[in-house]
């Protein structure tokens, strides 16, 4: 596939066929993805291939709780855990305990343990040059040394005929995930990637046009159009 085709067709895939992903294929995907950029080229990532069935089921149960929290926000018309107080987090906007106890239809979450490939992406925090650290708002820069790598995995998977999705809701349950995959204090769970051969043809991706998010000289400047 051409790079442009990969970029334009790599929709989120949450339903997978029974076709197994070989270790050779997964290795090739990671071998392509590892060329991602990172601050100072420190490559502060680890990938844990989750195979143990008991760990998979445990992660699924934790994911379901976090997904319920997320969906409760969505159902209330809120962006989940958004730093809404001028870029600062004012605390949960809903009753999280009630949310966790409220089931919602979750085919992907309920069957997360059946996903052909589950990859935990873990970041070494002391290797991140967090250039907006300590500013009086939500920090955002640190993740930029890990998420290009995570997205590269999805792009390389797409090129190999697989599909997948980056997920982050499990990060709400990081304290429970830590002992399951052997994380230490100086590490953070950046994402859980689900990969496999898609059960259905990829959907057409819809995104905003360039001129809706690109302006000249200032954020309130005229739209950039060729
Ligand atoms: C940072 C990030 C976090 C995400 N977290 C989740 C998640 O926890 N669960 C999930 O099912 N999808 C998650 N997604 C997938 C998004 O929902 C998906 O990329 C978006 O809806 C666009 O989907 P499309 O490419 O099929 O149009 C996440 C994506 C990103 C980039």
| Predicted pLDDT at 88 | 95
Residue nearest to atom 20 of ligand 1 (CA): 12
Q: Ligand 1 pocket, 106 CB below 6 A? A: no
The number of angstroms, rounded, from the C-alpha of 25 to the middle of its chain's C-alpha atoms is 21
CA torsion 24→170→70→128, rounded to 10°? -90
Q: What is the pLDDT of residues 93-150, one digit of tens each?
A: 999 999 999 987 789 999 999 999 999 999 999 999 999 999 999 999 999 999 999 9
Q: Ligand 1 pocket, 165 CB below 6 A? A: yes
Q: Ligand 1 pocket, 171 CB below 6 A? A: no
Q: What is the pLDDT of residues 66-96, one digit of tens each?
A: 999 999 999 999 999 999 999 999 999 999 9
Q: Rounded to the nearest whole angstrom, what is the distance from the C-alpha of residue 167 to the centroid of ligand 1?
A: 6
Q: What is the pLDDT of residues 21-56, one digit of tens each?
A: 999 999 999 999 999 999 999 999 999 999 999 999
| Predicted pLDDT at 106 | 81
| Predicted pLDDT at 134 | 97
| Predicted pLDDT at 103 | 87
What's the rounded Cα separation, in Å, for the pair 10 and 5? 8
pTM: 0.97
Q: What is the pLDDT of residues 113-123, one digit of tens each?
A: 999 999 999 99
Q: Ligand 1 pocket, 166 CB below 6 A? A: yes
């Amino acid at each position: 596939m051409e790079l442009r085709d990969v970029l334009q067709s790599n929709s989120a895939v949450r339903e997978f066929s029974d076709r197994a992903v070989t270790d050779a294929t997964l290795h090739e995907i990671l071998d392509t993805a590892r060329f991602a950029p990172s601050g100072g080229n420190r490559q502060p990532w680890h990938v844990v291939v989750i195979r143990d069935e008991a760990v998979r089921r445990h992660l699924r149960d934790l994911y379901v709780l976090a997904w319920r929290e997320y969906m409760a926000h969505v159902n209330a018309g809120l962006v989940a855990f958004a730093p809404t107080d001028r870029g600062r987090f004012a605390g949960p906007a809903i009753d999280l305990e009630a949310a966790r106890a409220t089931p919602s239809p979750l085919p992907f979450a309920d069957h997360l343990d059946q996903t052909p490939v589950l990859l935990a992406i873990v970041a070494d925090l002391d290797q991140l040059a967090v250039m907006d650290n300590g500013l009086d708002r939500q920090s955002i820069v640190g993740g930029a040394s890990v998420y290009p790598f995570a997205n590269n995995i999805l792009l390389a998977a797409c090129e190999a005929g697989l599909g997948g999705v980056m997920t982050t809701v499990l990060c709400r349950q990081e304290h429970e995930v830590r002992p399951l995959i052997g994380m230490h204090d100086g590490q953070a769970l950046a994402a859980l990637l689900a990969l496999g051969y898609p059960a259905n043809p990829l959907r057409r991706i819809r995104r905003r046009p360039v001129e809706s998010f690109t302006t000249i000289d200032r954020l309130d400047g005229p739209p950039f159009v060729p």
